[in-house]
Structure formats: structure tokens, C-alpha cells
Amino acid sequence: MATYQLKVNGKSQTVEASEDTPLLWILRDHLDLVGTKFGCGIAQCGACTVHLDGNAVRSCSLPIASVQNQEITTIEGLSEDGSHPVQKAWKAVDVPQCGYCQAGQIMTASAFLEKNPAPTEEEIKNAMHGNICRCASYNRIYKAVEMAAE
């Protein structure tokens, strides 16, 4: 066990954990930020996506020891009231079906649009390609990302 200093959603957090504990479990079990979901645990599905210094990363495969002093943003920190353009577009398009993968989808989409605010349809599909949705809400996801970019 060791002590780690994290910056999560703009707040400093001190956490005791073993060095190989994945960030996902720190967020969920230590900080009670349960919007970030566990899907596969092997960086394949995207359900656990958060931002690390603005980049979309898979928190299930990032040990706590590797994320100190970087800005971590979870779905809870994207906006206080669901007013982020991607969240608004998600609501307008009514994207979710079961909802489980949606936080990861939104975090991937928001990091992508930050870097590419006017993407083509193909760029949107490529950017979202690694986030799996078992309900296959892909067409609504693409539409919402397109809407958020406008």
C-alpha cells in the first residue's frame, strides 16, 4: 500500500492503495464516482473511459501509480448539470437504450470533439469505433456526436 495524490474533477484527492490498482476501482470504490463503468477490464470495450489531461483513456487498465498529478475527469466532472454540448446532444437524440456504456461513449466523444470540433462522418465513426454498445445504439451515437459538433 502507498499514498497517492490525484486530481479528479478539479479536486485534490489522497488515496491509499496498492500501486497496481486500476484507476477505475479508485474512482468507483475509493471516491464513489460510480458513473465510470466496468465492462471488460482489459481495455477492449470503452465502458471505463475517462479523460487524463484531456485525452480519452481506459481507466480499467491504468494503474494508480501512473496517473498522479495528471488531471482526471470522469463523467461526473464533465459538467455540473448535464450542460456539456455532448450531454445535451445525447439527450436530444435520446441515445441510450440500457445506458451501461454511455458514460464511456460520452467521454470518448467529448475528448474527440475537443481535438476535432468539425469532424466528418467517417472521423466520428473512427473515433467512436472502440466503444462497444451491446444495444447497438451506434447510429444514435454518431448522430449525437454530429449534433454536438454543430
Closer by beta carbon to ligand FES, 8 or else 149 = 8
CA atoms within 13 A on the CB side of 112: 28
Nearest 5°: phi and psi at 15? -130, 140
**What minimum distance in Å lies between the beta carbon of 38 and ligand FES?**
5
Dihedral angle sign, alpha carbons of residues 102, 105, 111, 114: negative
Which residues does 120 contact at the CB level (< 8 Å), separation at least 6?
none
Q: Is residue 74 a contact partner of residue 35, using CB atoms and an 8 Å limit?
A: yes
Question: CB of residue 114 vs ligand FES: minimum separation in angstroms?
Answer: 20
Closer CB to ligand FES, 22 or 119, in the complex: 22
- Tell me how far, at minimum, the Cβ of 41 lies from ligand FES, in Å: 5
* Distance in Å, CB of 48 to ligand FES, minimum: 3
Q: Is the dihedral of CA 119, 124, 126, 128 positive or negative?
A: positive
Q: How far is the CB of 50 from ligand FES (least distance, A)?
A: 10
Q: How far apart are CA 48 and CA 24, in angstroms?
A: 7
Q: Which is nearer to ligand FES, 31 or 60 (CB)?
A: 60
Looking at beta carbons only, is 46 or 119 nearer to ligand FES?
Answer: 46
Nearest to ligand FES by Cβ — which residue?
Answer: 60
Q: Which residues bind ligand FES (CB under 6 A)?
A: 38-41, 43-48, 58, 60
Nearer to ligand FES, 40 or 65 (CB): 40
